[in-house]
Amino acid sequence: MPEQKKEGSSDSSSKAVTIAVIAAIATVLAASLPVLITHLFDHPSVPPEKTTVGNRPSSPLPQAVERTSPISPPSHSSTKDVNPPPSNTQQIKTHRHLANEYKRSGNTKQAIAELEKVASLSGDANAYVCLAQAYVSTTLDLNRAIVEYKKAIKAPNSTPEMRNLLELANENKDNVQQALQKVTVSPNDPEAHRQLIRVAESIKPLGTDDWIDSENEKLFELTHDEHDTTAYKFFRRKDYPDKTPDSDCPTLSRLN
């Protein structure tokens, strides 16, 4: 009997120790659990994203490059970048130079064509005035000149003088037509040439210098009168080689 009591007390002591150990472990876990939870939420463990090439996984992309590296636009290099088209200013300069070259070679019609391109490209009042003067100096065509003067006074850089030129052309277009018709009908009549000279002189600001010179020469050929100052004192610019530099508004000679 004494031995059984001793054995029973020993089992009770072992159970008590086991319960005490479990209680201690539970206490430690209870104290550590909030710390573990906080750590997990503050520092989540996320595996790096991996890319695959075919069936073989590649090394993960660095996050810094993905966040900070800007995407550069594709480069579109072509022959247009190497040889860009000429600018508007370059085209105007080229056509103006061609107008001067055609003037020097005596190709008046082509010179006018180049001046038309200059006026169209630039929209400049002075270019329209230059074109109007070209129509007058070559063919005494005041109607076409009036069209260009109207464009000039509408341009941003127009001046009051350009409006005066328009009025002068409007006032004398009928007189010019009558004088031209008389010379055409009676080319050997000195008075017809004198009338055209007087009309050309009255509109000289429009660009009639060459008409005045050429009509004076024809009149002198008809009269041979050195005392006729109107006929005798003439000067033919086109008899001399043109070595003048390029002009923004080249003076063109009369077209016969």
All structural domains of the chain with their residue ranges = 123-236
Dump pLDDT digits (tens) for 157-204: 999 999 999 999 999 999 999 999 999 999 999 999 999 999 999 999
CATH topology of domain 123-236: 1.25.40
Instruction: Quote the tokens at residue 91.
Output: 């085209």
User: What is the rounded distance in angstroms from the CA atom of residue 154 to the CA atom of residue 190?
Assistant: 41
Torsion over CA: 97, 99, 101, 104 (sign): negative
The answer to whether residues 100 and 247 touch, using CB atoms and an 8 Å cutoff, is yes
Lowest mean pLDDT, pick from 53-67, 104-118, 189-203, 210-224: 53-67
* Interhelix angle 142-154/160-185, nearest 10 degrees: 170
Match 């005066």 to its residue by tokens. Answer: 164
Dump pLDDT digits (tens) for 209-243: 989 988 988 988 898 876 665 655 555 544 555 56
| Mean local confidence (pLDDT), 101-116 | 92
pLDDT grade for 41, boundaries at 50, 70 and 90: low
- What Rg, from alpha-carbon coordinates, does the chain have? 50
Distances (CA, A) of 73 to 66, 70, 76, 191, 220: 16, 9, 9, 78, 77
**Which pLDDT score, from 0 to 100, does residue 245 have?**
76
Question: What pTM value is reported for the model?
Answer: 0.63
H or E element that contains 131: helix 125-139
**Which pLDDT score, from 0 to 100, does residue 2 have?**
47
What one-character DSSP code corresponds to residue 206?
A: G
The answer to whether residues 161 and 184 touch, using CB atoms and an 8 Å cutoff, is no
**Residues paired with residue 53 on neighbouring β-strands, in sequence order:** 56
**Which pLDDT score, from 0 to 100, does residue 77 have?**
44
Q: Is the model's pLDDT at 58 over the cut of 60?
A: no
Dmax over CA atoms of the chain, in Å, equals: 180
Instruction: Quote the tokens at residue 215.
Output: 């009509």
How many CB atoms are located within 10 Å of the residue 244 CB? 11
Q: Is the model's pLDDT at 64 over the cut of 90?
A: no
The answer to whether residues 220 and 149 touch, using CB atoms and an 8 Å cutoff, is no
Beta strands in the chain (DSSP E): 52-53, 56-57
Instruction: Quote the tokens at residue 228.
Output: 């006729």
Dump pLDDT digits (tens) for 10-34: 566 666 667 766 766 767 666 666 6
* 2-37 per-residue burial string, b: 16 or more CB within 10 A, e: under 16: eeeeeeeeeeeeeeeeeeeeeeeeeeeeeeeeeeee
**Which pLDDT score, from 0 to 100, does residue 104 have?**
87
**Which pLDDT score, from 0 to 100, does residue 92 have?**
93
Q: Is the model's pLDDT at 141 over the cut of 60?
A: yes
The answer to whether residues 65 and 48 touch, using CB atoms and an 8 Å cutoff, is no
User: Which span out of 55-64, 81-90, 120-129, 209-218 was modeled with the highest average pLDDT?
Assistant: 120-129
| Mean local confidence (pLDDT), 132-154 | 96
